[in-house]
Structure 1
Amino acid sequence: MSFLQRCVFSRILQQVSGARGQRVATGPVPVSTQLAAWRGHATAGAGSGEKSSVPCVHERTFIAVKPDGVQRRLIGQIIHRFERRGFKLVALKLLQVSKGLLSQHYCQLTKKPFYPELVGYMTSGPVVAMVWEGPDIIKTSRMMVGPTNPAEAQSGTIRADFSFHVSRNVVHASDSAEGAQREIKLWFDKQDLLDWDSIDQSVTSEL
């Protein structure tokens, strides 16, 4: 054990012993005692029931790589961003979207003059549909994707990095909890959604 490590362990031992009203020996401290003090210091509060006051809300959201993103082979890079952020993939499929599905997905836009062009765009090639899970993922994913118009997106967002026109903005992300629930049910059957334990969950999301 290095001199610096011995100093750190001795300091921890002094703090622990001092808190109990005990005198601390000034001589060399046995390694076994140092380790015991270190473990006690590292786990202090672990059994006290104390938890972070920051809320950790786990949600699911719907993400879709649009035909232009698929054609440009951006699927892997988009998935990588969500994985790197620590979110968990619970559903994934590649499909050719029907006009009927789009009319339900874009039900609020069917009367808009640009709707026929939107349908033509979304049926021009395959779409990758996904469901991701994680703490506050709906809000976070919208920030990661960026505004609908890529010209307004900040550098580092998916749309700013991969798109330059609002008519070809690469990816879709649910805009609310209600929207996410509706879109997930629309694009996926219940049995398509997998509940599985991510081994890094305690590191990336649990508080």
Structure 2
Amino acid sequence: MFANSVRQGLRAASRQSVRAFASAAAPRAAPRAGFVVAGAAVAGLAAFYATDAAKLDAAKKTIAGTYKTDSERSFVMIKPDGVSRQLVGKIVSRFEERGYKLVAIKTVTPSEDLAKEHYSDLAARPFYPGLVKYITSGTPVVAMVWEGKDVIKQGRRIVGATNPLDADPGSVRGQYAVSVGRNLIHASDSFEAATKEIGLWFKQAELSDYEPVAWPWVMADN
């Protein structure tokens, strides 16, 4: 009887010791696991918000609209030779027939300062002085803003290669031009360039905001 009582007491004491050890160890182990989980969560949130911020930055709307949407805009200029050769209507029709929206258009006789600013990225090139002289010769240019999905890239395809001899036959330059020095037309080559050039040639108030009747039939994805 006495032996049974001793054994039961020892068992009870052993269980209490195990519970005490577990209670003592738990507070030390739990925080470590918690810190690991919390650290992973913070890192995950940071990555999520960094990605989200990058998306928001990419979607930032400028005077050139929003890149890769149907509000994207490009600056297009018919140069003095295109105006002198009376090709304005034919060039405008290329963009209209493709489905793009004409947001702004005007004739401008560029000043030397305006021409130099527009072509500032070419200032180190040997042909730069002749280019500025040509654009400011006194014959006006036709400055335009076109809007629509991928209009910057597709506008460049409509215009054709810088050297008309390399341009596709169906492009403006491929059909109407021969010399690189008289290649009729300019079009923005990037979203950054479009933002700069539209802002240089137009005020915000000069840009129209409207929807052509056929717009949904041209720009819808489904």
TM (normalized to structure 2)? 0.67
How large is the Cα RMSD of the aligned pairs? Answer: 1.1
Structure 2: stretches of 5+ with no match in the other structure: 1-67
Equivalent of 1:168 in 179, 182, 186: 182
Relative to structure 1, is the Cα distance of residues 57 and 89 closer, same or farther in structure 2, using a 3 angstrom cutoff?
closer
Q: Deviations over 1:15-71 (max 9, x none)?
A: xxxxxxxxxxxxxxxxxxxxxxxxxxxxxxxxxxxxxxxx85431000000000000
Q: Deviations over 1:71-102 (max 9, x none)?
A: 00000000001000000000000010011011
Task: Give the Cα separation in 1 of the matches to 2:187 and 2:159.
Answer: 7
Conserved? CA contact 1:58–1:136, under 8 Å: no
Task: Name the residue aligned to 1:159.
Answer: 173
2:121 partner SS: coil
Whether 1:69 aligns to 2:82 is yes
Cα shift readout 1:163-185 (whole Å, capped 9, x = no counterpart): 00000000000000110011000
Moved over 2 A (4+): 55-58
TM-score normalised by structure 1 residue count: 0.72
Q: Retained in 2: the 8 A contact 1:56–1:205?
A: no
Select which of 196, 203, 211 maps to 1:197. 211
Structure 1 residue 128 and structure 2 residue 136: aligned? no
Which amino acid in structure 2 is aligned with residue 177 of structure 1? F
Aligned-residue sequence identity (percent) comes to: 48
Report the residue type matching 1:190 in the other structure: Q
| Residue identity in the other structure for 2:157 | M
1:183 counterpart = 2:197? yes
- Point out the structure with max Rg over C-alpha: 2
Gaps of 5+ in 1: 1-54
| 123, 129, 153: which one aligns with 1:139 | 153
Alignment of 1:18-167 (within 5 A): 57-124=70-137, 125-167=139-181
The letter of the residue matching 2:115 is L
| CA apart distance, 1:111 | 2.4
Give yes or no for contact 2:159–2:172 (8 Å, CA) kept in 1.
yes
Distance 2:135 2:97 in 1: 27
